[in-house]
Amino acid sequence: MKTFFGFIRFCPGLLILLFSSGYATSQPRLTGWPFDTRSVVMARHGMACTSNPLATMAAIGILGRGGTAVDAAIAANAVLGVTDPEMNGIGGDLFAIVYDARTHHLYGLNGSGHSPYGLTLEMLLQKGLKQIPVRGALPVSVPGCVDGWFTLHGRFGKLPMKEVLQPAIQYAREGIPLEDEAAYYWKDLEKKFSTYPNIAAVYLPNGKAPGWGELFRNPQLANTLQKIASEGKEVFYQGEIARRIVSFIQKEGGYLSLKDLEDHHSEWVDPVSTTYRGYRVWELPPNSQGIAVLQMLNLLEGFDFTHIPFGSPEHIHLFVEAKKLAYEDRAKYYADMDFAKVPVRELISKAYADQRRQLISMDTASTNDQAGSDSLLNAGETVYLTVADDSGNMVSLIQSNFQEWGSAMVPDSLGFVLQDRGQLFSLKPGQNNTYAPHKRPFHTIIPAFVTRNDQPFMSFGVMGGGFQPLGQVQVLMNIIDFGMNIQQAGDAPRIDHQGSSEPTGQPRRGGGEIFLEPGFPFTTVRALIQMGHRVGYEPPGNFGGYQCIRVDPVNKIYYGASDPRKDGMAAGF
């Protein structure tokens, strides 16, 4: 990242180029926004939106064979584990929100895994650690994805899992051509991670990374998925696969045990919500960071955006100031609620937002935000997908290894990388998110859902680690405040802010720094700097990836959108 603060006087022409150029460099589209990339996809019987075309078409194929939205979502997720193993796979965790058309009810699933029973905070501190490392065996927590699949399927699935997982098995065995994003991350793998156990054997055929358009096969993963399809989740958590995972991790100095895997189960949870200008936005409660979206929306709802244009200094300033306040609460409170008291109801209340909003100045950047006090109240790399079926069921699903290539731990002969979610624990005693045995770490991945007048309106998500609440709030503001359709809302240039306090215990950095994608006017950048903000340029790839399905319940039409920053697409039938 490069800062522009103090640099602006030397290169004003460069700033004008970076911040005034939009995405559309040829003939503007007819819809009126200069950043439009494509049209909204429309269909009546089903819709799938993922970050890879093969995954999208796998979902459409399952829907076409009579599968439910959940069947299709699992199929798509499994394919993404083949096409984008740097992002996700069966070594990671999963969260989902399901709208069931029969009961007209939203169901939340927390499919995240726990830390090892056999590893304690004292043991970590005795190693001289200030933070759990990103790679290796120590940050590996129980992978929850497979149990999440079977838990979702057991309640909302229809087709047998053998059929649901068959597209992924076939792609893993026959091979997939690497698309832009995967090819980019594979180069990183070769440079940074090739010395980790089994990385080269699985992901670097012939000793080097496959390039763009080259075929990549993963027969080990095909065999693993085949076992799961045939023998169920038990083989992963109690049988042969479990034993191989544990043997490998312990050999590498980790603490994961068979009991850790055997005791794992996903948890059905009630989604929580707030309203934003007549829309009700739903998220999952902690250990995920979803309620940061609700906190930001509550803060922003108190400002009138009817006369504040998109991309104006006022828009960006208010958005960033709301983010700063919400993220201080995120760092202090969000954690596994079996171990910590998280005042969810109070954090997402309108009354709390009314008090906190008083801390926002209309024309000056804050530099020393604090979390709300207990007395006042009485915190990477991912794939997101959404699917809707002909019966009106909708799924919002997100799944991840956390960091790029996760822990870089690839168990012998299994063909997938294990996540490094444990890295998100704090090692500072006494905090909500402090490490403890058999505890779920703070989680960044968050699926979202929107209803209006008690009817489903939109299933969506924005992948991208700690950026996800920022991305979701921007999409919602783009639709609700600025009148964009769901594709334009994802195409629009994005705002990131970094420097807030983190759930790992890392402190804030003096007001932080705003990072803007190209497309914002130079006058906005200048005005933000005059307000006291630091403004910088962040390389592409750090602004998340969005997928969305909106439903018209009257005409029974699905609208699909997919982020041009990713390789995927929306498709329907």
* Cβ atoms 362, 370 nearer than 8 A: no
For the entire predicted model, the pTM comes to 0.92
Q: How far apart are CA 465 and CA 49, in angstroms?
A: 19
Least confident of 199-203, 226-230, 364-368: 364-368
What angle in degrees, to the nearest 10, is found between the helix axes of 69-83 and 145-156?
Answer: 160
Question: In this structure, what token pair is assigned to residue 293?
Answer: 């979206």
What pLDDT sits at residue 550?
98
Domain spans of the chain? Answer: 2-20+30-41+274-381+444-566, 52-265+392-424
CB proximity list for 123: less than 8 A, separation 6 or greater:
none
Strand pairing partners for 426?
434
Pick the CATH number of 2-20+30-41+274-381+444-566 from 1.10.246.130, 3.40.30.10, 3.40.1390.20, 1.20.120.140: 1.10.246.130
Neighbouring CB atoms inside 10 A of 17's CB total 12
* Cβ atoms 468, 446 nearer than 8 A: yes
| pLDDT bracket for residue 190 (50, 70, 90) | confident
pLDDT in tens, 250-262: 999 999 999 999 9
Q: How far apart are CA 255 and CA 239, in angstroms?
A: 18
* Segment 362-384 mean pLDDT: 65
| pLDDT bracket for residue 33 (50, 70, 90) | confident
What angle in degrees, to the nearest 10, is found between the helix axes of 69-83 and 219-231?
Answer: 150
Q: Annotated catalytic residue: which of 56, 382, 451, 504?
A: 382
What pLDDT sits at residue 512?
87
pLDDT in tens, 74-125: 999 999 999 999 999 999 999 999 999 999 999 999 999 999 999 999 999 9
Q: Report the mean per-residue pLDDT for the chain.
A: 91
pLDDT in tens, 264-320: 999 999 999 999 999 999 999 999 999 999 999 999 999 999 999 999 999 999 999
382 is catalytic: yes
- φ/ψ of residue 272, rounded to 5: -115, 160
Q: How far apart are CA 317 and CA 301, in angstroms?
A: 14
Helices (H), 9-135: 12-20, 53-64, 69-83, 121-126
